[in-house]
Amino acid sequence: MTPNPAQAGEAAPADAHIDHAASLQYWNSVPANTPAMLAMLGNYPWYTRIDLRGSKTFLSKVRRLIPGCATEGKLSHGVDCGAGVGRVTEGFLSSVCDTVDAVEPVEKFTQVIRDSALKQSGAVGDIYTVGLEGWVPDKKYDLVWTQFCVGHVTDAQLVEYFVRCREALTESGIVVVKENLSTDPNGLDMFDEEDSSVTRTDEKFREIFAKAGFGVVLSELQLGFPKNFKLLPVRFYALRPRP
């Protein structure tokens, strides 16, 4: 007989607590400007500089590992998923891609991207006001960047999202995931009631990538954050479809 987790006294998995309406309510209560986005990232002005510089270095390494991927110059088409007000697009992706699309469920955040100079100049392309769970790509991308937002979708939704991303990659296209990691002493994913999100373990991420048909080409920790701030570890994963 299959044991019933409730009867066995086991807690429900962390992602069972995710409530999309509660996440959206939380994010709608956050002012739609870059300082507010920085506040979400710990309220440290230096954080974003280290973060963006680390992303640039990581992507350069990944491009050298992918057959057929140009190691110099801009990629053609990228997408910033869970884009917020476009912090990553403005500070990094627009310097490595000719055009960057944005996927973000909170309308007041996508409005900031819509009103930005990058949108006026054409560096930002299509803007989709939708969560990862509802986004169905209708074009091919050289780079799908997903940062600090996957905790808002369940494990099953995340697998489905990555399957759709895999199908939307160009021949040498790359998916990069950059996320906080769980530090739970029992090795479990952690649920945060404040924004109704889950912080996953490295093992869980790898399980999800494998289920979606991805292999990990390169994975590194983001280094450079001062240790005394006791921030969660941040890890990059570069993904390519498994042959």
Q: Which residues are annotated as a binding site for S-adenosyl-L-methionine?
A: 82, 87, 147
Which residue from 54, 78, 82, 173 is in contact with ligand SAM, where contact means CB under 6 A?
A: 82
Q: Scanning residues 167 to 206, which ones bind ligand SAM (CB under 6 A)?
A: none
Q: For the window 11-40, what string marks contact with ligand SAM as x by the rule CB under 6 A?
A: ---------x--x---x---------x--x
Burial class (CB in 10 A: 0-12, 13-18, 19+), 114: middle
Q: What radius of gyration, in Å, describes the C-alpha atoms of the chain?
A: 18
What is the C-alpha separation between 135 and 81, in angstroms, rounded?
A: 9
Which tokens belong to 7?
Answer: 């009867």
Q: For residues 176 and 218, which CB has a smaller minimum distance to ligand SAM in the complex?
A: 176
Q: Nearer Cβ to ligand SAM, position 104 or 142?
A: 104
Element (DSSP H or E) covering residue 67: none
Task: For residue 167, give the H/E element and its range.
Answer: helix 155-167
Least distance CB 167 / ligand SAM (angstroms): 18
Q: Which is nearer to ligand SAM, 32 or 69 (CB)?
A: 32
Residues in contact with ligand SAM, shown as a per-residue x/- string from 86 to 105 under the rule CB under 6 A: -xx---------------xx
Interacting span for ligand SAM (CB under 6 A) from 53-61, 117-125, 149-157, 186-194: 149-157
Q: Are 221 and 233 in contact (CB under 8 A)?
A: yes
User: Residue count at the site for ligand SAM (CB under 6 A)?
Assistant: 22
DSSP string, 10-43: PPPPGGGG--HHHHHHHHHTS-SSHHHHHHHTTS
Integer Cα distance of 174 and 77 in angstroms: 11
Q: Which is nearer to ligand SAM, 69 or 158 (CB)?
A: 158
C-alpha 218: how far from chain center? 16
Phi, psi torsion values for 130, nearest 5 degrees: -160, 155
On whether the CB atoms of residues 220 and 202 are closer than 8 A, the answer is no
Number of neighbours of residue 171 by Cβ within 10 angstroms: 10
Closest approach, Cβ 132 to ligand SAM, in A, equals 4
Residues 118-147 that bind ligand SAM (CB under 6 A): 131-133, 147
Residue with tokens 């697998």: 159
Tell the smallest beta-carbon distance from residue 155 to ligand SAM (Å): 13
Q: Does 149 bind ligand SAM (CB under 6 A)?
A: yes
| Nearest approach, Cβ of residue 186 and ligand SAM (Å) | 25
State in angstroms the smallest separation of the CB of 84 from ligand SAM. 3
CA distance 211 to 227: 34
> Rule CB under 6 A: which residues touch ligand SAM?
20, 23, 27, 37, 40, 82-84, 87-88, 104-106, 109, 131-133, 147-149, 152-153
